[in-house]
Amino acid sequence: MSSLRKPSLGPIVGHTTDHSCRLWIAADPDKLDEKESEGRRTLGVIGILKQDGTVSPDSIAYFRLHRGHNRTGTFNLGIDLGLKKQGKALSATPLKPSTKYTVRLSTLSVDDAFDNDYEVLDETLDERLPKPQSWADVLNRMPDTYLEAQFKTFAAPPGNGKPKSAISFLLGSCRYPGLLWKRKSSDRIFGPMLRQREEQKIRFALMVGDQIYADMFGRLVPLCLADTYKEFQERYTTAFGSRNMREFLRQIPTYMALDDHEIEDNWTQDRINKDRGKRVLFNLAIDAYMSYQWSHGPRTWNNCAPPSEKKLSAVEDSLHNPQTALLYYDFLCEGYPFFVLDTRTQRFQDDSAGLDDNHLLGRPAQHASEPGQLERLLHWLRHQQEMRGNTPKFVISSSVFAPNTVKSTREGYKNKEASDSWPGFPATRRAILDCIVENGINNVVFLSGDVHCSNVAEMTFNGSPGDHLKAYSLTSSAFYWPFPFADGSPAEFVHDSTDPRNKDTFSLSPNNGTMDYSAWGFTQADNFSRIDIDPDNQQLLFHLFDRKGEAIKTRKKSGAVNAKPQCLKLADW
């Protein structure tokens, strides 16, 4: 039996609610050589600190760090029990709403006489381990650097489903790793982001894609393309282990989404069928993504549940209760709903047909009882409007919903596909906008990254029952991108979809009219954003900050240029 060690990576504060928090750590596989690793099992040890700053012995628990996931693992504090003896009646103690917690997490390596293929039960491991309480003194003596996680649980959601509280959260994407001495530059922005935690009472952060660059110099430079698990692991260790980002992740609940650079530039699933080598690449990339990003999120679709007293039909049950793990998910923060899309692993482009045969969220379901991502999103939108009225509804898409690039407005569908975004997938886009118009779904806000040029877009619906609806698209990108001359220029994007120079009016289904948009507030500066939900004034405030944490001057809808936030009016809720 070895002693406790600090995590090699983490802790990361993940999915948080009013009664729970999912916490992630990784053990260091390099502490053991390959032969020793085969005979050792690694566990996590967690304990909650009391007010006097010492660990409460009764709170200490073991949890698994999975060998198949590079010895990473999570503990859902307030819900998980840790290793449990079979048949023993145990129950977790939920966390308290709006309460600050500090926890200590460490790793433990133990002898393992079982074959790798043997499924070892919790009770079998439990019998071989000392009681969790026995580690209290060791946890208290260990230095707290990279051992402690601090977080605050969310407030309890309102009883009527319609929130009136003001909350703030952070948004950003695209952290290019930097080379040699530039790695310090790529980490700098997370310091100011962390300072916003106490200054602005940030509830959580959204990182909406390209948390790593597996293809640092693009997919056409094979020598710098991660194509082994060890190389993907190195990308995550470098990114999540940098000083400022590691401090940030252990103190603010963070939700992450997948984009192309976690796999390969401009990734679509069609590549698997065209090149067998891409199937191996995809499997390695997604396994790493699930180990380092997905695992500390909500894990799967879980917050669209109907009232408990409602009896579900077979079709409704399939919408609420998927049978497999999903990379898209939803969550609530104090009554405000968020849906995080997976726009990469189910993205299909049919080169032999027109754009309407392309699908961004997976091919449409063949039967209502077998829903896919698109069907669940549309159901979620309808459900949120029904349950919460005009409460803002946030849809997170790593690809930008609006504005489109000027290139994508040119004749010919190849130009649209070259945008690597929603213009190349009009059938998916139309289905979502049709749903919004036909069901009167108000205050839908798309949150995106990807394009290395932050901006604001306001959508309007014309010639349809949706002409009164409010909808926006907010983009924050990039955390760090040292090549502004290469892409992301404001001139590359449509500013007014009715402008004859690059007209981009989008036609919905018959009787649903059209969608137009206007965009403003463009900046290529490295940035992150803060979004304030202001229910008293029925608006959103969209702040942009540079790598030093200073407000960025941008053009407002009125034409004024200043460092004030964008004030976006919403329909009353």
Within a 13 Å sphere around the CA of 557, how many CA atoms are in the beta-carbon half?
13
Contact between 43 and 64 (Cβ < 8 Å)? yes
pLDDT tens readout for residues 468-485: 999 999 999 999 999 988
Q: Is the pLDDT of residue 250 over 80?
A: yes
Q: What is the structure's pLDDT at 336?
A: 96
From residue 443, alpha-carbon distances to 127, 144, 250, 382, 546 in Å are 54, 43, 32, 12, 28
Mean pLDDT of 33-46: 72
Of 97 and 90, which is predicted with more confidence? 97
Q: Which two tokens stand for residue 350?
A: 């049919």
- Lowest mean pLDDT segment, chosen from 347-351, 375-379, 461-465: 347-351
Question: Which pLDDT score is estimated for 234?
Answer: 94
pLDDT reading at 413 higher than 90:
no
pLDDT at position 506, please? 96
For position 141, what pLDDT does the model report? 93
* CA 193 vs CA 200, 447, 455: distances in Å: 10, 18, 19
Highest mean pLDDT among 37-41, 200-204, 286-290: 286-290
**Cβ–Cβ < 8 Å for 294, 328:** no
Beta carbons within 8 Å of 417's beta carbon, 6+ residues apart: 349, 355, 358, 424
Q: If you search the block for the tokens 């604001």, which residue do you land on?
A: 456
Higher pLDDT, 236 or 113: 236
Across the range 309-317, mean pLDDT stands at 75
Out of 308-312, 403-407, 439-443, the most confident range is: 439-443
If you average pLDDT over every residue of the chain, what do you get?
Answer: 90
Peptide bond into 478 cis (omega under 30): yes
- Say if CB 400 and CB 450 are below 8 A apart: yes
Report the DSSP pairing between strands 336-340 and 393-396. parallel
DSSP string covering 232-295: HHHHHHHHHTSHHHHHHHTTS-EEE---GGGTSTT--THHHHH-HHHHHHHHHHHHHHHHHTGG
414 vs 231: which has the higher pLDDT: 231
Q: Residues 458, 461, 467, CA angle at the centre, nearest 5°? A: 110
Task: Count other Cβ atoms within 10 Å, centred on residue 218.
Answer: 14
Phi, psi angle pair for 4, to nearest 5°: -75, 145
pLDDT band at 208 (very low <50, low <70, confident <90, very high): very high
Of the candidates 406, 404, 552, 401, the one whose C-alpha atom is nearest the C-alpha of residue 491 is: 406
Q: Could you give the CA distance from residue 24 to residue 7 in angstroms, rounded to a whole number?
A: 10
Q: Look up residue 195 and give its two tokens.
A: 């300072």
Reduced to 3 states, what is the DSSP secondary structure of residue 415? helix
CB 437, CB 466: distance < 8 Å: yes
CATH of domain 9-152: 2.60.40
Question: What's the CATH code, domain 167-569?
Answer: 3.60.21.70
Q: Name the H helices within 389-523.
A: 413-417, 426-438
Measure the CA–CA gap between 484 and 572, rounded to whole angstroms.
39
Work out whether strand 444-448 and strand 471-475 pair parallel, antiparallel, or are unpaired. parallel
pLDDT-derived band of residue 244, with 50, 70 and 90 as boundaries?
Answer: very high
For the four alpha carbons of 161, 166, 167 and 168, in that order, the dihedral sign comes to: positive
Residue type, 255: Y
Rounded average pLDDT over 135-154 = 92
pLDDT at 189: 98
**In CATH terms, are 9-152 and 167-569 the same topology?**
no
Q: What is the largest CA-CA distance in the chain?
A: 74
pLDDT of residue 279: 93
354/407: higher pLDDT: 407
Q: Above 90 in pLDDT, residue 309?
A: no
User: How crowded is residue 537: how many other Cβ atoms within 10 Å of its Cβ?
Assistant: 11
Residues 433, 461: Cα–Cα separation, whole Å: 9
Nearest to 292 by CA among 1, 535, 25: 25
Both tokens assigned to 173: 């994407």
Per-residue model confidence as pLDDT tens digits over 163-175: 889 999 999 999 9
Mean pLDDT in residue range 493-519: 96
pTM over 0.85: yes
Are β-strands 393-396 and 561-562 bridged in parallel, bridged antiparallel, or unpaired? unpaired
Determine the length of the chain. Answer: 573
User: Which long-range CB contacts under 8 A does 90-97 form with residues at least 24 apart?
Assistant: 94/19, 94/20, 95/18, 95/19, 95/20, 95/21, 95/153, 96/19, 96/153, 97/18, 97/19, 97/153, 97/154, 97/155, 97/156
Note the pLDDT tens digit of each residue in 511-536: 999 999 999 999 999 999 999 999 99
Tokens 């509804």 found at: 393
pLDDT band at 486 (very low <50, low <70, confident <90, very high): confident
Q: For 4-8, 81-85, 153-157, which range has the lowest pLDDT when averaged over its residues?
A: 81-85
Percent of the chain with pLDDT over 90: 71
DSSP-assigned letter for residue 177: -
Give SS3 for 506. Answer: strand
Q: How far apart are CA 522 and CA 477, in angstroms?
A: 10
What residues have CB less than 8 Å from 551, skipping those under 6 apart?
543, 544, 545, 563, 564, 565
Is residue 522 within 8 Å of 455, Cβ to Cβ? yes
Q: Would you state the pLDDT for residue 11?
A: 97
Lowest model confidence (mean pLDDT) among 99-113, 214-228, 537-551: 214-228
Give the pLDDT confidence score for residue 48 in this predicted structure. Answer: 96
Q: For the chain, which residues make up each domain, given as ranges? A: 9-152, 167-569
**Res 417: pLDDT:** 58
Kindly indicate the confidence band of residue 503, based on its pLDDT and cuts at 50, 70 and 90.
very high
Asked if residue 6 lies in contact with residue 142, where contact means CB atoms within 8 angstroms, the answer is yes
Kindly report the number of other CB atoms within 10 A of residue 153's CB atom: 22
Let me know: does 464 contact 431? Beta carbons within 8 Å: no
No. of helices (H) and no. of strands (E), the chain: 13, 23
Quick one: pLDDT at residue 418? 60
% of the chain with per-residue pLDDT over 70? 90
